[in-house]
Amino acid sequence: MQFTKVYEALNWASSFLRENGRDENAGELLLQHLLKMERSKLLAELREELEADVIETFIEGINRVADGYPLQYLIGFEEFYGRKFMVNEEVLIPRPETEELVYGVLARMKRKFTDSINLVDVGTGSGAIAITLALEHASANVFTIDIAEESLKVARENAERLGAQVTFLHGDLLRPLIEQGLKVDVVVSNPPYIPEEDMLTLSPVVKDHEPLRALVGGVDGLDFYRRFMVEIPQVLKNEGIVAFEVGVGQGELVAELLRQTFPGSMVEVVNDINGKDRMVFAEIGFS
């Protein structure tokens, strides 16, 4: 391919990515990253010449994206709730539906609590949920747990860069809180929930590059939710909120687990913006 100008590079990338079944916008995002430009400035300079080294790096990057490598890992970040979070292959790339989970948690916290509260995010990955909740709800004392030290390293860097006060704990599910005898008002988690056989049908962009430990939830995808039903009662205060992201079609199954564990609680399955059951919220012990 022969091009030297911004618009030529974008046209080539868009066409090439479309032919390979990838997101056509990846070229624009990659070029913004390489040139360190906001979108408005990039579009204002469409006829500007590109340096040879930028062209070489751009072509190499677009080829990797066309082969299925996630753009977010290539440029090193993803937007979440209006902030940039660093990501690499040790963490799941934050998704828009998880923003809806965070929004739902914030709305319920505001409605149910007036004083400062303790909150734990389990399986933090990049830290997107915990850090966003800490920044959006300043009176929350936020803990977050992950079984992988590599993930915690990324989350700590994100917290430091974004100025969030979060306590990071290394361990399996809620064990670190149980072992320390700590109680919380809110438990939120986006756990691994993909059934084992469904992994075969996932896009190679996901299954070949994102960490499997953050994706697979056993034969039916519900293993982690069942474990939560044993551990949450050991850490939740008498009045509390539980919030889960779930896979499509799992909403009522997870809701029933919560109803059985917390009889009399108000459990709600909430659809995302696409009309899919992606969130389950439980309000427990409130009169």
- Please state the three-class secondary structure of the chain as a single string: CCCCEHHHHHHHHHHHHHHCCCCCCHHHHHHHHHHCCCHHHHHHCCCCECCHHHHHHHHHHHHHHHCCCCHHHHHCEEEECCEEEECCCCCCCCCHHHHHHHHHHHHHHHHHCCCCEEEEEECCCCCHHHHHHHHHCCCEEEEEEECCHHHHHHHHHHHHHHCCCEEEEECCCCHHHHHHCCCEEEEEECCCCECHHHHHHCCHHHHCCCCHHHCECCCCCCHHHHHHHHHHHHHEEEEEEEEEECCCCCHHHHHHHHHHHCCCCEEEEEECCCCCEEEEEEEECCC
**What is the pLDDT, as a whole number, of residue 140?**
95
Residues in the chain: 287
Q: Check the annotation: does 124 bind a ligand.
A: yes
Mean pLDDT of the chain: 92
The answer to whether the pTM exceeds 0.75 is yes
Q: Check the annotation: does 125 bind a ligand.
A: yes
Contact call for residues 280 and 246 (beta carbons, < 8 A): yes
Q: Check the annotation: does 126 bind a ligand.
A: yes
Q: Check the annotation: does 61 bind a ligand.
A: no
Q: Check the annotation: does 193 bind a ligand.
A: yes
Residue identified by tokens 């977050």 is 144
Q: Extract the tokens encoding 175.
A: 């064990």
Residue 6 pLDDT grade (very low, low, confident, very high; cuts 50, 70, 90): very high
Contact call for residues 254 and 246 (beta carbons, < 8 A): yes
Residue 212 pLDDT grade (very low, low, confident, very high; cuts 50, 70, 90): low
Q: Check the annotation: does 191 bind a ligand.
A: yes
Q: Check the annotation: does 114 bind a ligand.
A: no
Q: Check the annotation: does 127 bind a ligand.
A: yes
Q: Check the annotation: does 96 bind a ligand.
A: no
**pLDDT tens profile 181-196:** 999 999 999 997 777 6
